[in-house]
Structure 1
Amino acid sequence: MREIIRIGMDTSKHIFVLHGIDAEERPVLRKKLWRKQVLEFFAQLPPTVVGMEACGASQYWARELCKLGHEVKLMAPQLVKPYVMRNKNDGRDAEGLCEAMGRPSMRFVPVKTAEQQAALMLTGLRDGLIARRTQLSNAIRGYAAELGLIAPKGLDKIEPLLARIAQEESLPAMAREVFAVQGRQYAVLQAELKQIEARLMAWHRADATSRRLAQIPSLARSLQHGW
């Protein structure tokens, strides 16, 4: 087999399709692999450049291929699409990836470490909890308003509102029970968010890349206001 300079790899849950070219841009590799065969195949291959779409488990495969000495280039799907021929299939997808990664104007997605990936997971969890807290606080305000209890805007006004509700003996017992449940849920969300934000800040202080990014004024302001 002639030396392979680039391989486009179309990934899926079970079948991976490879398209490789030589220095003269001629196809020298067209291959399908089962998931369990991928690392074994690349372990036997001289170091080369592998291109994949940045989606699904691409970060995992990128890290594993880098461990085997290969260079991995991840590309956003929308940037690869123009290079895929008509009558789309896995083979043409792999060929399109191989073509796209060779373009001088192509922009690539950085390969993340497992630690960076974990930090993104934690950030995603935090965003989800914030959305739930916002939804819950809006529900508390709405229910309270229907019973004649109004609170100023701001998350810092929710706990005082719940305290007022707890002391309002004129409210129906069922309404008081609902607010009590919401109050407990709100307290749990607040505690979880506090722990997550402390963990994210600790990671940020320990990560050199994150600290460098924090030198950008807009990002620095975000950190000062709790991400």
Structure 2
Amino acid sequence: MKTVFITGANKSIGLATARVLLRQGYRVYLGSRDPQRGQEAAAQLRAEGLDAVEVIQIDVSDSDSVARARHEVGRSTDVLDVLINNAGISGGMPQNALGASIEAYRRVFETNVFGVVRVTQAFIDLLRNSPEPRIVNVSSSQGSLTLHTDPGYRYYHHKGAVYHPSKAALNMYTIDLAYELRDTPFRVNAVDPGFVATDFNNHRGTGTVEEAGARIARYAMIGADGPTGTFISEEYNPETGAIPW
């Protein structure tokens, strides 16, 4: 049975992704900052007959918490096949370049960028033990520099001076990580789940968490001939998923 660790998986897109992978026969380590909410999510999945789930408490902005999570996962498996860095925060809206505080930048980058680095570095040893390791960094089309300089882009006027740079930085980390792992079986990609109706955006999104979960899970399950070092948005480009950086 393949294994996957998903951060921020107690609700919304993370939970939907867990559900898809459980149905595909994966064992899911369900990462949740709040242990109670994690247990409630796991109970919901088990009520659906999806039993191969274990809750792992993790706050990706806390190095000690990440280390404890790595220890807990390592108690039950020596191999991690997939890491999905899903946990993220928006930092609240509106965000403007002249008014956003340095503290706001630190708070968002701590989760959306540094948190991904912490978790990836902590779990890389377990991933290396997999014959086909996969890393999916959950990004956003809002991190595309190209699109946000194009007045014709549908979200051109929806700027977020804190959140958007965090996703652009995450995309660059994905490129560098994929490059370092280029001569290995790893496949590392940044995947945009789409503009999805969740509490993350006050349910203003136009897509569903089920659609988003399927998109992320698809790149967690790609084969040896799958892409690596790419930025994927099936919402932006339904045919190929390609989206400009």
Structure with the higher helix share, 1 or 2: 1
| TM-score, length basis structure 1 | 0.31
Larger RCO: Structure 1 or Structure 2 (Cα < 8 Å, ≥ 6 residues apart)?
2
| TM-score, length basis structure 2 | 0.29
